[in-house]
Amino acid sequence: MDYLPIFMNIKQQACLIVGGGVVAARKADLFIQSGAQVMVIAPALKSEMQSFLNQNKVTWHQGVFSPKVMADVFGEQLPKLVISATDNQAVNIAVYEYCQAAGIPVNVADQTEYCDFILPAIVDRAPMTIAISTGGRSPVLARVMKAKLETMIPHGFGRLTDLVGRYRDKVKAAISSIDGRKAFWESLLDGLFIDKAVHGLDGEAEALLEKKLEQADNFEEAAVGEVYVIGAGPGDPELMTFKAQRLLQQADVVLYDRLVSPEIVDMARREAERVYVGKKSKHHAVPQEDICRMLVEYAKQGKKVARLKGGDPYIFGRGGEEVEILAKAGVAYQVVPGITAAAGCAAYADFPLTHREFSQSVALVTGHQQEGGNAIDYGRLAHSGDTMVFYMGIKNAPKIQAGLIAHGMNPGTPAAIIERGTRADQKVTVSSLGKLTETIAKQAIKPPALLVVGEVVKVRERIQNAKRFVQQAEQSPPLHRVAV
């Protein structure tokens, strides 16, 4: 984060606006709405600021900012916050330097290099407030996001927030444990209660709340743990399902793999404990048996545990092994499917896994063979004639290539290697089965990468040719018709 997002209480606190124009008035309005005592220093006031003065919302000292004026206006009691919004850069810099020396947080409008704090775009659902910031890079983009949120969040969320706040002490008195209160609110703030409160049906909403509060003893009991085995998808955070995001937000502990992107881990609530249990070939940070033990132990402590896995937990994700252990230990669990790497990476690489001209089936194959596991049946794969997707196959690419060719597969069969699939830095390398190992070495390809072998890879070139054709047509000069 570029800035620490905080909400400051400035009610009845002296705050200063330097400037009397339109921009200064917008900043003053934020102070006014926050309950501050607003002082304005400016040679003159324009219409909106003059209107604030006429309504006794601000106090005006006529003049140009200077340390002497500050002493005259504030004496020894310095303002809590200062915003300078003038069209005179010398004044703005003087305000900044004065505040820096005096230790007063200062903001010079639209000049982040002279700001201790910046003002976000605000979605006001008082007492709920949502702030959006781009770190000063693009106020317009922040306003665009504000507009989107304004349409998504009903104004009734203010009533909902107020109602919940009124009952906070009553719930605290009825349910002594923190975990119990958390479970109560999570149970309540889901569905019908929110709908009633948002639409102004306060009586019905309060009745639902009171009815839930009658079950307070149930929430005082020892918290019941649960494990959410969540497929986080192949990398792009936007490929997470709604259910995955919701359960991740409820988790007290998050155990995550190496292939789970940091942006997805950051979706967990800030208070959640994060435990890295990533594994890669010959470097097992946490052995699988220890991961299973941790899941059971955390759940037995009454915690909600999110087990985040790249892709889908039931496709080469060992989800089945972990769920079996949970079931034997009597631990409640939910499995949330995710978009597996084969589907996600192929889609982002511009080719399908099935196609009526090229492939009627897909084989998902692990390219990393566990000791004692079944060997890959290259003969069956080579004669299927359809799409093969090899997970964790970079290291064993020479064996895959040799095995398929030895069983009669055409060395000219297209092959694609997708590195860091679905992420912003995804790279797709197209080769052939016969040149697969050579291409991996020449391009210095490293895991994580997915290998796809099959005629469907040809569709990528078709799609890219179509895109190039359209781009060339758009860049070509218009034809001039000549009248004869």
Output the pLDDT for position 32: 96
- Encode burial over 126-155: b for 16+ CB neighbours within 10 A, e otherwise: eebebebbbebeeeeebeebbeeeeeeeee
- List the binding residues: 22-23, 43-44, 234, 310-312, 315, 340-341, 392, 421
pLDDT tens readout for residues 287-311: 999 999 999 999 999 899 999 999 9
Fold of the domain built from segment(s) 14-119: Rossmann fold (3.40.50)
Output the pLDDT for position 478: 60
Task: Look at 83 and 481; give whichever has higher pLDDT.
Answer: 83
pLDDT tens readout for residues 394-403: 999 999 999 9
| 40 vs 145: CA distance, rounded Å | 31
DSSP 222-258: PPPPEEEEEE-BSS-GGGS-HHHHHHHHH-SEEEE-T
CATH H superfamily, domain 343-465: Tetrapyrrole methylase, C-terminal domain (3.30.950.10)
CATH of domain 226-339: 3.40.1010.10
Output the pLDDT for position 209: 94
Strands (DSSP E) contained in 348-437 are 362-366, 387-391, 414-419, 427-432
- List the binding residues for NAD(+): 22-23, 43-44
Compute the average pLDDT of residues 317-341. Answer: 96
CA–CA distances in Å: residue 41 to residues 13, 30, 67, 228, 397: 17, 17, 12, 57, 72
pLDDT tens readout for residues 28-38: 999 999 999 99
Q: Is the pLDDT of residue 433 over 60?
A: yes
Q: Which amino acid is at 71?
A: A
Catalytic annotation, residues: 257, 279
Output the pLDDT for position 222: 64
Angle 202-213/178-188 helices, nearest 10 degrees?
Answer: 140
Contact 80, 13 (CB under 8 A): yes
- List the binding residues for S-adenosyl-L-methionine: 234, 310-312, 315, 340-341, 392, 421
Domain boundaries, the chain: 14-119, 157-220, 226-339, 343-465
Output the pLDDT for position 191: 76
pLDDT tens readout for residues 212-245: 999 888 887 766 799 999 999 999 999 999 999 9
